[in-house]
């Protein structure tokens, strides 16, 4: 792990102004006032020793002393040396210029490596004073104003967020080691949660969650692992973490539609949902309805859809009675003009239906298959093809077979139109197979639907002929009148 860390580096120059800003260590201030903002959005948190913004100036040249290694001092002095090394790592250095403070950067990097190794080796329990100092040092380094994203600088909407080039944090060689130190501290068997919760408190957790909006995927990956470990180890924080993630989703869906870490937060939630006890609490069901299902609405849903789909399916597998709620929620946010999103939704729908029981399936047959019928006749072949693939799933076919008297009348017209006029040969062939499947299920029902369809087409033809005759009569009357009725001067 340490070899991998040593190799870490940055690939892009900083988008900030060259000064690193860090938040003070977590304290007892109100959690609701703690916000880590983008540089373009000023913080409204009151300044103070705990939750105010603190700027640490770069040290003068040669001011960082080189401290001895832990192995070179007696065991009794290691805790004191640990504190001195933490002080060295509190200096903030300018990474916008790679040639500036090279010596100081290397000393800090080596010191961080030693701290990580000391915690990982379990050489001994660190004192509460050392834990306090370590969390303060970590806070100074990682809690900072995130640089504005490209769309914040230009004010332009990017059509496809997946095509945006991620911003890579220039200070990552140091930042990664700080995150690694925090991770080792959280997962260490020597870390007593009763003591650690004084330092890793609600304020600290909120600041961690704000950092999920970082554009650097490496930072988000560390944050995901650390927050997941905190959730697992600090049971007292669990309701608070779920509520805080909830609030991030609300703001994303209903205000900004911009957040870099939705996928990572959903990955954490997927694991959390998997551990929900049954019967499921009302709080969790409300979270599904109010936060998870509306996440289908934002434009960049394709970026995090895989993680979102996993969470949704986990709910249905945990409690099959939620299937009707989920399916109707999907239909509510079904895209009207985005074919790629429709393909994603159909894939998710198949996974949900696979976990659906007959009673819940019957409750949503009509709206569900009306939407499927529209997908079957889509001129976009991938949408039509994906909808037809539903009949390749044995469980879904068994549900349809049990309720064929309701399903077939809804989709029969769509099947016939595909066979008669769909331009894509693959869609045409799949439609023929589905039609044949229904014929073998219930020949009598199929013939009845066919008869009704022919009658409907016949009536439609008669109406069209009547309309044409009416227009012809009007044209004849107009031609007979000639110039009658025209005003002459």
pLDDT value of position 1? 45
Q: Which residues does 200 contact at the CB level (< 8 Å), separation at least 6?
A: 26, 135, 186, 230, 234, 237
The predicted pLDDT at position 17 comes to 39
Q: Produce one character per residue of 160-181: b if its CB has 16 or more CB atoms within 10 Å, e if not.
A: ebeeeeebbbbbbbbbbbbbbb
Alpha-carbon separation of residue 439 from 166, 401, 406 (angstroms)? 53, 11, 15
Whole-angstrom distance, CA of residue 296 vs CA of residue 308: 8
Residues 86 and 133 sit within 8 Å (Cβ to Cβ): yes
Rounded to whole angstroms, how far apart are CA atoms 141 and 25?
10
DSSP 424: -
Local confidence pLDDT in tens for the 489 residues of the chain = 444 444 444 444 443 333 333 333 333 333 333 333 443 343 333 333 344 334 444 444 446 778 888 888 888 898 999 999 999 999 888 888 888 888 899 999 999 999 999 998 876 678 999 999 999 999 999 999 988 876 665 555 554 555 667 788 999 999 999 999 999 999 998 899 999 999 999 999 999 999 999 999 999 999 999 999 999 999 999 999 999 999 999 999 999 899 999 999 999 999 999 999 999 999 999 999 999 999 999 999 999 999 999 999 999 999 999 999 999 999 999 999 999 999 999 999 999 999 999 999 999 999 999 999 999 999 999 999 999 999 999 999 999 999 999 999 999 999 999 999 999 999 999 999 999 999 999 999 999 999 999 999 999 999 999 999 999 999 999 988 875 555 444
- The closest alpha carbon to 126, from 166, 82, 176, belongs to 82
Instruction: Report the C-alpha gap between 475 and 232 in whole angstroms.
Output: 79
Helix (H), strand (E) at residue 261 = none
pLDDT score, position 99 = 82
Q: What is the pLDDT of residue 212?
A: 97
Residues 207, 213: contact at Cβ < 8 Å? no
Nearest to 287 by CA among 235, 320, 337, 322: 322
Instruction: Give the pLDDT confidence score for residue 64 in this predicted structure.
Output: 73
Positions of E strands within 261-367: none
Please give the structure tokens belonging to residue 160.
């496809």
The Cα–Cα gap between 216 and 484 comes to 78
Question: If we measure between CA atoms, which residue out of 260, 304, 52 comes closest to residue 165?
Answer: 260
CA 86 to chain centre: 35
Euclidean distance between CA atoms 140 and 174, whole angstroms: 12
Residue-range domain boundaries for the chain:
357-479
CA distance 253 to 257: 6
Distance, in Å, from the CA atom of 384 to the CA atom of 426, rounded to the nearest integer, reads 10
3-state secondary structure of 400: helix
Q: How many CA atoms lie within 13 A of 411 on its CB side?
A: 29
Phi, psi at 313, each rounded to 5°: -65, -35
Prediction pTM value: 0.82
So what's the pLDDT on residue 299? 92
Structure tokens at 218: 């490496």
* Residue in this structure with the two tokens 């991030």, named with its chain if needed: 248
The residues with which 284 forms a beta bridge, in sequence order, are: none
What's the confidence (pLDDT) of residue 121?
A: 84
Largest Cα–Cα distance of the chain, in whole Å?
A: 118
């Amino acid at each position: 792990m340490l070899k991998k860390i040593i190799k870490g580096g940055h690939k892009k120059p900083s988008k900030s102004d060259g000064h690193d800003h860090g938040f003070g260590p977590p304290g007892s201030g109100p959690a609701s006032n703690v916000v880590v903002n983008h540089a373009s959005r000023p913080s409204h948190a009151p300044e103070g020793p705990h939750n105010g913004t603190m700027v640490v100036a770069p040290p003068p040249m040669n001011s960082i002393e080189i401290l001895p290694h832990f192995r070179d001092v007696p065991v009794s002095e290691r805790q004191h040396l640990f504190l001195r090394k933490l002080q060295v790592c509190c200096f903030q250095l300018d990474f916008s210029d790679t040639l500036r403070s090279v010596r100081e950067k290397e000393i800090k990097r080596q010191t961080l490596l030693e701290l990580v190794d000391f915690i990982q080796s379990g050489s001994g329990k660190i004192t509460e004073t050392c834990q306090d100092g370590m969390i303060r040092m970590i806070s100074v380094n990682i809690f900072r104003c995130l640089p504005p994203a490209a769309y914040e600088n230009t004010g332009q909407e990017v059509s496809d967020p997946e095509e945006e080039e991620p911003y890579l944090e220039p200070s990552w060689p140091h930042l990664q080691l700080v995150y690694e130190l925090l991770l080792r501290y959280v997962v260490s068997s020597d870390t007593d949660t009763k003591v650690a919760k004084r330092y890793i408190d609600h304020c600290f957790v909120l600041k961690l969650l704000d950092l999920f909006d970082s554009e650097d995927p490496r930072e988000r990956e560390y944050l995901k692992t650390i927050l997941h470990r905190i959730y697992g180890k600090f049971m007292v924080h669990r309701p608070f973490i779920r509520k805080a993630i909830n609030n991030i989703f609300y703001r994303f869906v209903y205000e900004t539609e911009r957040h870099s870490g939705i996928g990572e937060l959903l990955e954490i939630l997927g694991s959390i949902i998997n551990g929900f006890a049954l019967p499921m609490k009302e709080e969790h069901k409300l979270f599904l309805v109010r936060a998870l299902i509306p996440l289908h609405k934002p434009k960049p849903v394709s970026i995090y859809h895989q993680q979102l789909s996993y969470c949704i399916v986990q709910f249905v597998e945990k409690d099959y009675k939620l299937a009707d709620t989920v399916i109707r929620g999907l239909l509510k946010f079904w895209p009207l003009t985005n074919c790629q999103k429709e393909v994603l939704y159909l894939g998710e729908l198949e996974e949900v239906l696979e976990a659906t029981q007959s009673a819940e399936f019957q409750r949503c047959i009509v709206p569900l298959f009306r939407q499927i019928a529209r997908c079957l006749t889509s001129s976009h072949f991938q949408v039509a093809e994906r909808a037809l693939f539903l009949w390749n799933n044995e469980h879904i076919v068994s549900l349809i077979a049990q309720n064929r008297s309701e399903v077939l009348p809804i989709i029969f017209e769509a099947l016939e139109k595909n066979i008669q006029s769909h331009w894509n040969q693959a869609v045409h062939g799949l439609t023929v197979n589905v039609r044949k499947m229904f014929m073998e299920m219930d020949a009598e029902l199929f013939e009845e639907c066919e008869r009704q369809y022919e009658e409907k087409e016949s009536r439609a033809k008669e109406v069209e002929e009547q309309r044409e005759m009416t227009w012809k009569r009007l044209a004849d009357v107009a031609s007979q009148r000639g110039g009658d009725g025209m005003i002459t001067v």
